[in-house]
Structure 1
Amino acid sequence: MSHSITRRSRAIAVTVAALVSVPVLAGTANAVPADMYAPYARAAAMVHEPGTLLAAKNISEVTHPKVGTYCLKVSDPDIDDLQNAAILATANNGGASVTVRTAGYGVTGCPRGTDIISVTSVYSDNHQPVDVTFTVAVL
């Protein structure tokens, strides 16, 4: 009898462990971005290659319409002068470069608007589009 209780206890423990791990693993894909510490930036974001917003300050969403193209929406209505703002973007790897466009200067796939930042990324050596992790800041 103790043998069946041990077997049953093991089965319950394995089942509980499996059920507990599913939300943890599934939650990482839809996780809310962390607050980005950027005290001197009006808006900032770290974006992962597939278009996932990892951390943000006054950036509400990112779309990724095609390889090497990202569209970031600025969520703070007080930031209404993107065309005249200093916007910096840096690829977080050494093999790519990024370019930033704003407002009426959107790129194909990104909506035009005064609250949109378009970021494109290419390989540094052959200028072909590439997905990269990058950081952007609106000063």
Structure 2
Amino acid sequence: MARPWISEQIQATVRQRAKGLCEYCHASEQWQYVQFTIDHIIPLAEGGSSDLNNLALACFHCNRRKGRYQDAIDPESGQTVALFNPRQDRWLDHFRWSDDCLRIMGMTPTGRATVAALALNRERILAIRAADYEIGRHPPLDDR
């Protein structure tokens, strides 16, 4: 299926609403080398649309890992649960930062499944978070 064109205005609205953060791993687009992508939370192939209520700002890695998935296995219970949905769920209800502020801890089945499925604590992002923490730009202000 061909991806529909998403206007610059809608992309700007998505970025502004997300405050420039990947809505999954909370990486800041400002400090990355690659512009973040616009994710269809419910994939087009699964009946999703390109309206603002189905769009989220996502770093390349989170968008690629999420792909067409809407659910994943909670590693604690083994149950299939919905992935985090930035338009329906509040990030702080499902996730918190570890004491050293480097790892995202899933606090609910949805949080744990999302952390595992999207590899929110992959080695590269941990190194980026550590460097950003040292100079005071991590964690994001609204997560503190």
| Fold similarity call, TM over 0.5 | no
Give the TM-score band, short-chain normalised: under 0.3
Q: Greater relative contact order (Cα 8 A, min sep 6): structure 1 or 2?
A: 1
More helix by share: 2
More strand by share: 1
Q: TM-score, normalised by structure 1?
A: 0.27
Q: Which has the larger radius of gyration?
A: 1
